Amino acid sequence: MTRVLFGQSYYLRFDPKLHAAMQPYPPLGTLYAASYLRARGYSVALFDAMLASSEAEWERALDQHAPRFAVLYEDSFNYLSKMCLLRMRQAAFTMMRAARSRGCAVIVSGSDAADHLGEYFDHGADYILIGEGEITLGELMDALGSAGDLFEIRGLAYRERDGTICKTPPREFIRELDRLPFPAWDLVDIPRYKRAWRGAHGYFSMNLVTTRGCPYHCNWCAKPIYGQRYNVRSAENVVAEMQMLKAKFHPDHVEFADDILGLKPGWLTHFADLVREHHAQIPFKCLLRADLVKDDTVAALKRAGCRTVWMGAESGSQKILDAMDKGTTVEQIYAAAKRLHRAGIQVGFFLQFGYRGEDRSDIEKTLQMVRDCQPDDIGISVSYPLPGTKFFQQVQQELGEKQNWLDSDDLAMMYRGTYSTEFYRVLHRAVHAEFRLRKTYAQLASLWRQPRQWRAQHLRLPVSIPLHTARLVLARRKMDALAHTHA
C-alpha cells in the first residue's frame, strides 16, 4: 500500500502577531485531501505545521513515516494561505527540499504554487495541482502507480524531460460536496489544540466549512481555487459532522471558515431547525456580507447557536466601497450591526485601509463607522494586491520586487498608495488604541451598573485607560506628521 505524508507550510510560530493571539485551527483543506485519498485505498499520515516549532518537525515526520510521496497541500480555507506570506513560502521550499533529499516524490497544491510554477519546480516540486485538488490528486496517484498518461489528468502541472512546464486543461469543480468524506480529524493531535486554546482563552474551538467559493466580485479578493463558484453542502451533512465533532472532541466553540455562510435561500433556516432537532448546537462564529444580514437571517443564526458574525465592512466611505466593487453600502453595514446586536449576537468588522484613491476623509469616515456601530472586535489590514484580481491588474505596474508580506503583521504598501507604509502602520496602532479605549470605558460602565460582576482582574481596567489614551494621542500626532510629509 502506498504511503503518503501530507503537510502544509503555514506555521503559526512564524507569524508573531497570530502566534501571540493563539487561535490555531487544523488545516481543513489538507484534512479533506487526506481523507479523500484514504477513501481511495491509500495509506496516509499527516504533518500539521500549525503548531509545529519549525521545519525540523517535518523532517522528523519524514524519517518516521518514510513516505513514498510527500504532499504539501495548502489549506485553501485559511485566508493567510491565499496571501502567500513570504515566510511560509520559504518554509514550503525547505520542506520540499527535505522530502526530495529522502527520495520522495513531491506533490504541491496551493495558490502560491499555481502562481509561481517555475519557482516551486526549481525548489523541488515534481507535480503541482491547480485549482480544487482532491480529484486531481487521486487521479495523479493512480497514474503514478500504473504509468498512466499525466496529460489526461485535468488541473495538473509538471515538467517535461526538456524542462518545459506542461499545464493540463483545468479541472471542473466538485458540485456534490456531500460526496466528500469528512476531514480526516483522526489524524489531528486534538489534545495539543485543546491545550493551546484553553491555555490562551479558556475554551476550545474547532473549524469546519459548509461551502466552497464565493459568487461576489470584490475586485481585491483572490479566488485562486474556486473562482466565482459557490457550492454548498446540505444542511443534513453539516449537522452530521457537527454531531460527530461534538461526540468525539467536545468543542466549546466552532468557526465556520466559509467565505459566506448560508447564501443559498432557505439553507440557514433549515440548518437551524436541524441543529435544534438533533441537539447539535455548538456556539459558533461565521462570516457574512452586510447586505445579507436580514431579520430572518439573524433569527436563524440565533436559533442555530451563532455567537459572533464577522463582516467584511472594509470602509466607512461609500466611494471606497464602490471602487472595490463591494456591492454593499455603508447604510447596510450600520443596519446589519444594529440587527445583530439587538439579537445578542456579537459583531466583528474587517477593515481595509490604503485602497487606491482613499484619502484622509475616507479614513475618518471608517473610524466614525467603528465608533457608531461599536463592533465587539475588529481586524485591520492594508490593501494587498493578489495575482488574478482586478486590483492586482490596476496596480501591477507600480509593484516593486516585494510582492508579498513576510507575515500578517507586515502591512507594507506594495504599490503607490496615498500614504506611506509607516503611516498605515501607525494608523493600525491608532485604530486599535481607540477601539480598546472605548471597549474599556464600555466594560467599566457595565460593571458600574452590575457591581456584583466585579472581579480582581477588572482592577486592571482603570489603569489601562491612561495607557490607551497616550498611545492614541501619540499615534494620531504621528499620523498627522506622516500625512503632511507624504503630501
Q: What is the CATH number of the domain that holds 393?
A: 3.20.20.70
Domain match, 82 and 213 both: no
How would you class 273 by CB atoms within 10 Å of its CB: exposed for 0-12, middle for 13-18, buried for 19 or more? middle
Residue 142 in this model has a pLDDT that exceeds 90:
yes
268-272 long-range contacts, Cβ below 8 Å, gap at least 24? 268/297, 268/300, 268/301, 268/304, 269/296, 269/300, 270/235, 271/210, 271/235, 271/238, 271/239, 271/300, 271/304, 272/300, 272/301, 272/303, 272/304
Domain match, 187 and 227 both: yes
Going from the C-alpha of 354 to that of each of 19, 56, 324, the distances in angstroms are: 25, 38, 12
Integer Cα distance of 334 and 354 in angstroms? 22
Domain match, 369 and 276 both: yes
pLDDT of residue 421: 95
Domain match, 281 and 423 both: no
Indicate the pLDDT class of residue 486, thresholds 50, 70 and 90. low
Higher pLDDT, 455 or 314: 314
Domain match, 193 and 145 both: no
Domain match, 244 and 328 both: yes
pLDDT of residue 253: 98
Q: Starting from the edge strand earliest in sequence, which strands make up the sheet with 284-288, in order?
A: 205-208, 253-256, 284-288, 306-314, 346-353, 377-382
Residue 456 in this model has a pLDDT that exceeds 90:
no
Indicate the pLDDT class of residue 180, thresholds 50, 70 and 90. very high
For the stretch 369-411, pLDDT in tens is: 999 999 999 999 999 998 888 999 999 999 988 888 999 999 9
Q: Which residues contact 274 (CB under 8 A, 6 or more apart)?
A: 235, 236, 239, 280
Domain match, 426 and 321 both: no
Residue finishing a domain among 167, 198, 229: 167
Is residue 157 in some structural domain?
yes
Residue 354 in this model has a pLDDT that exceeds 70:
yes
Q: Which of 57, 50, 130 is nearest to 88 (CA)?
A: 50
Is residue 243 in some structural domain?
yes
Q: Which of 291, 316, 413 is nearest to 369 (CA)?
A: 316
For the stretch 247-296, pLDDT in tens is: 999 999 999 999 999 999 999 999 999 999 999 999 999 999 999 999 99
Indicate the pLDDT class of residue 147, thresholds 50, 70 and 90. confident
pLDDT of residue 204: 98
Is residue 433 in some structural domain?
yes
Mean pLDDT confidence for 78-100: 91
Domain match, 182 and 107 both: no
pLDDT of residue 2: 64
Domain match, 114 and 163 both: yes
Is residue 429 in some structural domain?
yes
Structural domain boundaries, residue 430:
419-487
Domain match, 242 and 375 both: yes
Residue 65 contacts residue 5 (beta carbons within 8 Å)? yes
Is residue 83 in some structural domain?
yes
- Please state the pTM of the whole predicted model: 0.94
Number of domains in the chain: 3
pLDDT of residue 35: 98
Is residue 172 in some structural domain?
no
Range with lowest mean pLDDT among 94-98, 340-344, 450-454: 450-454
Residue finishing a domain among 409, 432, 458: 409
Is residue 146 in some structural domain?
yes
Domain match, 236 and 152 both: no
Q: The C-alpha cell of 233 is what?
A: 453542502
Domain match, 358 and 211 both: yes
Is residue 414 in some structural domain?
no
Indicate the pLDDT class of residue 153, thresholds 50, 70 and 90. very high
What's the CATH code of the domain at 49? 3.40.50.280
Residue finishing a domain among 360, 377, 409: 409
